[in-house]
Amino acid sequence: MSDRTVADLVGETLAKLGADLVFGVVGSGNFHVTNALVANGARFVATRHEGGAATAADAYARVSGRPGVVSVHQGCGLTNAMTGIAEAAKSRTPMVVLAAEPAAAALRSNFRVDQDALARAVGAIPDRVHSAATAVADTARAWRTAVRERRTVVLNLPLDVQAAAAGPADPPPAPAVQPPRASDDAVTALAHLLSGAERPVFIAGRGAVAAGAELADLAAACGALLATSAVAKGLFADDDWNLDVSGGFATPLATELIRAADVVVAWGASLNMWTSRHGSLIGPETVVVQVDLDEAAFGAHHRIDLGVCGDAGPTAVAVAAALTGSRIAYRTDVVRERLRAASRWRDVPFDDDGDDTHIDPRTLAITLDDLLPAERVVSVDSGNFMGYPSMFLSVPDHRGFCFTQAFQSVGLGLATALGAALASPGRLPVAACGDGGFLMGIAELDTIRRLGLGMLVVIWNDEAYGAEVHHFGPGGHPISTVVFPETDLAAIARGHGCAAVTVRGPDDLEPVREWLAGPRDLPMVVDAKVAADRPSWWLEEAFRGH
């Protein structure tokens, strides 16, 4: 009699469906299913914390375009992963979380928590493998929900069901599904708006990252300028009419041009408070169109005049076909020259705040941008510093920027960079962190070192939770709870086996230049002591959303 179990069958089924890389922390409850995944060809990456595993899987999915997979122990393994799962769920990341679960009869198990309720509480979809007879169908259902609906699914694996005997079985074939194009009436209405627009602007979000070429073609035909939400940064990196990011990170020129638009079309973008600056970025007379697969998204964050339900790619193609001729519209010679002169933050003059012991955070980012190879993937943690790497470091395309900020959790940066690095062989991985986030997530520095990833970790170190300092300090509130004594983060990094350097001025970055020359067999950690006299320019907008 075969000793094959449901755990073996679940792992095999996931591998057949396409699970190629799995992140997790293995305990007794997920030991067998994880080994089954590996036996069937998946690579397992053991992180040091389940939260790091969930965040790395989220980042891997964003950058690779493949579903993320996480494996965790029952109860505490799942609760440890919840912040990463919440970030993925809020971001509509296709991800499957394999969560062991106490047997139904184990009512007094110290691992017992309501795992379904935990998943629902953060916006994930709970599902379960119910029996040996349904194991393949249950697993395939969870996978296809994640992929087709772009959802994060927590697939609970009860221990008694995992241990049940199971025979071989293949997942049912997936039916062919064509992405829906918008209706003819909606296509005609949008084409009519664009045909008459003098200053059209497109804002593409994460829901449109697969349609970059189609949107660029349509924009060229109707004379629109191109912008993105923060998570889609880089989608139009090589386009002459690229405004880069819309919202709190927008340059002064991008802000001016978006505010002057007479038609704004959001493609797979929610127009949330960040992208629209609480609505102030879009003029009151501007006609606003939202193109999205989910009708519930229409007008959820910003008023709209037209909602177009459909997938961005085929909808853009249909609208382009409905246009009569091409137009210059916003693509004038004057706008072209202005974009050439001031489309990047580094083109905007500033007074350097550096001194003998601190480097200006903008100077740090600009110097690094000149040092680093163009082929890079930049991952950004949350904190007061985050605008500097987000806006001053260029990226080659949308897969060169990973921004896990839907939950605004500090501490995800290192794990984000881990997942992005494994999705981007051949590109230099860059983790951009504040000192608070770096120390929160430092467990995964060990993982990065153990895997031999040649990652550059840059810490904008202001020795504080800078957002709170700059928000509450000017009001006379005591800030001793959010400031810290100077810490030698470079020494801590060396203790993890990394190369490291302390930076107080641009010249101190010379070891980074040498490290970049190779072989880059160790991660390099830059502890940059940054001038912290002023808040980031986006901070006021950020706190308005709290």
Tell me the per-residue pLDDT of 10-21, one tens digit each, with 9 for 90 and over: 999 999 999 999
The amino acid occupying position 108 is R
Strand 428-434 and strand 376-380: the pairing is: parallel
Are 269 and 205 in contact, with CB atoms under 8 Å apart?
Answer: yes
What radius of gyration do the chain's Cα atoms show? Answer: 24
Residue 540: phi, psi to the nearest 5?
A: -60, -40
Q: Of 1-5, 254-258, 383-387, 535-539, which gets the smallest average pLDDT? A: 535-539
CA-based end-to-end distance of the chain: 60
* Nearest alpha carbon to residue 132 among 10, 2, 13: 10
pLDDT tens readout for residues 74-92: 999 999 999 999 999 999 9
Whether pTM > 0.85 for this model: the answer is yes
CATH number, domain 345-544: 3.40.50.970
Other beta carbons within 10 Å of 299: 14
Supply the pLDDT for residue 545.
59
Q: Give the mean model confidence (pLDDT) for residues 295-302.
A: 94
Helices (H), 423-465: 435-440, 443-450
Are 302 and 282 in contact, with CB atoms under 8 Å apart?
Answer: yes
Supply the pLDDT for residue 537.
60
Q: Where in the chain is the domain with CATH 3.40.50.970?
A: 6-163, 345-544
Q: Could you say which DSSP state residue 173 is in?
A: P
Q: What would the DSSP string read from start to end of 290-304? A: EEES-GGGTTSSS--
Q: Does domain 6-163 have CATH number 3.20.20.70?
A: no
Instruction: Please provide the size of the chain in residues.
Output: 546
Q: Give the mean model confidence (pLDDT) for residues 263-278.
A: 94
Q: Give the mean model confidence (pLDDT) for residues 29-55.
A: 98
CA distance 403 to 236: 17
Supply the pLDDT for residue 466.
83
187: left (phi over 0), alpha (psi -120 to 50) or beta: alpha
Supply the pLDDT for residue 543.
62
The residue to which tokens 């102030």 are assigned: 280
Residues 6+ apart with CB under 8 A from 493: 445, 457, 499, 500, 523, 525, 527
Using 50, 70 and 90 to split pLDDT, how confident is the model at 544? Answer: low
Supply the pLDDT for residue 172.
85
Using 50, 70 and 90 to split pLDDT, how confident is the model at 1? Answer: very low
Q: Three-class SS of residue 363? A: helix
Using 50, 70 and 90 to split pLDDT, how confident is the model at 540? Answer: low
Question: No. of H helices and E strands in the chain?
Answer: 23, 18
Q: Where in the chain is the domain with CATH 3.40.50.1220?
A: 184-343
Supply the pLDDT for residue 169.
84
| HEC string for 463-484 | CECHHHHHHHHHHCCCCHHHEC
CATH number, domain 184-343: 3.40.50.1220
Q: Could you say which DSSP state residue 164 is in?
A: S
CA distance 308 to 302: 15
Residue 203: phi, psi to the nearest 5?
A: -120, 115
pLDDT tens readout for residues 460-489: 999 988 888 888 888 889 989 999 999 999
Supply the pLDDT for residue 326.
87
Using 50, 70 and 90 to split pLDDT, how confident is the model at 178? Answer: confident
Are 155 and 98 in contact, with CB atoms under 8 Å apart?
Answer: yes
* Nearest alpha carbon to residue 385 among 500, 508, 249: 249
- The rounded mean pLDDT for the chain is 95
347: left (phi over 0), alpha (psi -120 to 50) or beta: alpha
Q: Give the mean model confidence (pLDDT) for residues 115-131.
A: 98
Are 10 and 129 in contact, with CB atoms under 8 Å apart?
Answer: yes
pLDDT tens readout for residues 432-468: 999 999 999 999 999 999 999 999 999 999 998 888 8
The residue to which tokens 């951009």 are assigned: 432
Q: Three-class SS of residue 33? A: helix
Report percent pLDDT > 90 for the chain: 88
Supply the pLDDT for residue 26.
98
